[in-house]
Amino acid sequence: MGKKLFVGSVSYNTNDEGLKEAFAQAGTVVSATIIMDRASGRSKGFGFVEMSTDEETQKAIDMWNGKPLDGRNIVVSEARPPRQDFTPRTGGGSSF
């Protein structure tokens, strides 16, 4: 099974479909998502793509890392798994 890719420095004009179409040049795209800001509804400038095989994942990295997409040179790398040791902050305010 393929791996999930992190795609950074994405143009604010790039949408899920545009990302999927671009990465389809490297093989079968399982999913392609641009991360959106909840408050503004605007792109955060990065996203994730999942390819169907490890070979296609590597081909997508080789094909797209440092290359222009919608006028910006994007960064493509294997996505890191979510942190397991993450502890959310609680409280707030001062200790006066």
- In which domain, by residue range, is 34 found? 4-78
Q: Please indicate, yes or no, if residue 39 is contained in any of the structural domains.
A: yes
Please report the pLDDT score of residue 47 as a whole number: 98
pLDDT digits (tens, 9 = 90+) for 27-77: 999 999 999 999 999 999 999 999 999 999 999 999 999 999 999 999 999
Structural domains in the chain (count): 1
Residue 96 confidence (pLDDT) above 60:
no
Please report the pLDDT score of residue 1 as a whole number: 64
Q: Are 85 and 29 in contact (CB under 8 A)?
A: no
The CATH number assigned to the domain holding 55 equals 3.30.70.330
Three-class DSSP category at 29 = strand
Please report the pLDDT score of residue 81 as a whole number: 84
- Do you know the residue count of the chain? 96
